[in-house]
Amino acid sequence: MDFQIPKEITDYLDVLDDFIEKEIKPLEQQDDNIRFFDHRREHARTDWDNQGLPRHDWEELLSEMRKRADAAGHLRYALPKEYGGQDGTNLGMAVIREHLAAKGLGLHNDLQNESSIVGNFPTVLMFRDFGTEEQKAKYLEGSLTGQVRVAFGLTEPDHGSDATWMETRAVPETRDGVDGYLINGMKMWNTGVHVATHDFVFARTSGDDGSAVGITCFIVPMDAPGVEIEEYLWTFNMPTDHPRIAFKNVWVPAADNLGGIDHGLQLAQHFVHENRIRQAASGVGAAQYCVNESVQYAKDRKPFGKPLAANQAIQFPLVELHTDCELIRTLVYKTAWQMDQMSKQDVARHLSDKVSMCNYRANRMVCQAADTAMQVHGGIGYSRHKPFEHIYRHHRRYRITEGAEEIQIRKVGGHLFGYTGKGGGERSKAAAE
């Protein structure tokens, strides 16, 4: 069994490192842009007097980073070559995400808003895999250039993991001879709508609560009458772009759906495994960064006349974390490689539990690593002059989002105890995915 990372991936890491040093680090340093990454980061990024939204200069910096990364051929790495990408594999993305996160906080791979020189473009592939030819022509290129930005409205105030129980409804209504749907409901944590041109709004169009069939994904323009942003939720990790939105008698043409009427839920599940494995890889990288920084600090710090590292009370927690990084990294790489050998459908059937193992254990580990790093560093570790609090705040949310860790553990339990897929019907099919 060959555990070596393919040479084309390790070589590409060197290319990315060179790009960061030549293009991204200078941009990070000019015009006091370092304020977005040093102890001032949360304040510099957040417009506290404008609902806690990201400041324009912060988002403009991220936009410039993406332009440079795209011009260099890195931003679209994971996309198919037909869209300017490199047909990046799941293994490649896992290795890259870990590598970038292990470098620490910076413009090359920001934690707060998941921005990176190597991007993730789920909406592009959603339009490719589920869109009509008209939709592809209308949305694809704009999604790549940033002219089209699509948010994702699935979660509701009273429904998160139980998405098949959503209360948002869409009923048929014809206007001016055009068949359409009238949407009424609420969405929560509808990330990115402050700059979005459109929103994927999931609504029940038929069927009973709990059924995976009968949910439709509508492409709703953000300026459509009846779309009302009620509140931006302030979070542990600021700035915020997570609103609660009301859809009050919002009418859209029936043709403005993605994936077909009653069959939209598959969109929400289409890239869940790719997202979870990449998230896990980032967690491993950030955890390793915390360990490495703590080890170096423990060597340099000399309380009572001897290195802090001489104390086993310091050594042992870091050894445990370092070991966990090694173990979870190996499982992440193995699982990502296996995903590359299968179709999405087979991944859902045969690897879903492994992806969940990677995800919840990595998310849990990086939070522990950041907390341990604070403890090892003492007072300065607790301060914002070190990035550990930022790492903790960012990764703590992943124990809830992308499927709460309880959902992930339940997934593993379903495979382990043979519950997955039992009972037949669409509900069990949805659970299996």
What are the sequence ranges of the domains in the chain?
A: 7-122, 150-258, 268-432
- Give mean pLDDT, residues 180-205: 96
Mean of per-residue pLDDT scores for the chain? 93
In angstroms, the first-to-last Cα distance of the chain is 29
Q: Report which residue type is found at 370.
A: A
421 pLDDT band, cuts 50/70/90, is low
Cβ within 8 Å of residue 164, ≥6 positions away = 209, 210, 211, 212, 215, 265, 427, 430
- Give mean pLDDT, residues 298-318: 96
- Give mean pLDDT, residues 173-178: 95
231-285 pLDDT tens trace: 999 999 999 999 999 999 999 999 999 999 999 988 888 888 999 999 999 999 9
DSSP 214-253: TEEEEEEETTSTTEEEEEEPP-SSSS---EEEEEEEEEEE
Q: Report which residue type is found at 38.
A: D
How many Cβ atoms sit within 10 Å of the Cβ of residue 279?
Answer: 23
Task: Name the helix (H) or strand (E) containing 255.
Answer: none
**What was the pLDDT predicted at 269?**
81
């382990």: which residue's tokens?
416
**What was the pLDDT predicted at 113?**
82
82-98 pLDDT tens trace: 999 999 999 999 999 99
146 pLDDT band, cuts 50/70/90, is confident
Question: For residues 336 and 282, is the Cβ–Cβ distance under 8 A?
Answer: no
CA distances from 168 to 95, 209, 282 (A): 39, 11, 33
Quickly name the fold that domain 268-432 has.
Butyryl-CoA Dehydrogenase, subunit A; domain 3 (1.20.140)
How many Cβ atoms sit within 10 Å of the Cβ of residue 32?
Answer: 10
Q: Tell which CATH classification among 2.40.110.10, 3.30.450.20, 1.20.1510.10, 2.60.40.1180 matches the domain 150-258.
A: 2.40.110.10
Task: Confirm whether pTM is higher than 0.95.
Answer: no
* Of 271, 230, 275, nearest in space to 248 by CA: 230
Domain 7-122 falls under CATH 1.20.58: no
Q: What span, in angstroms and rounded, lies between the C-alpha atoms of 399 and 365?
A: 10
432 pLDDT band, cuts 50/70/90, is very low
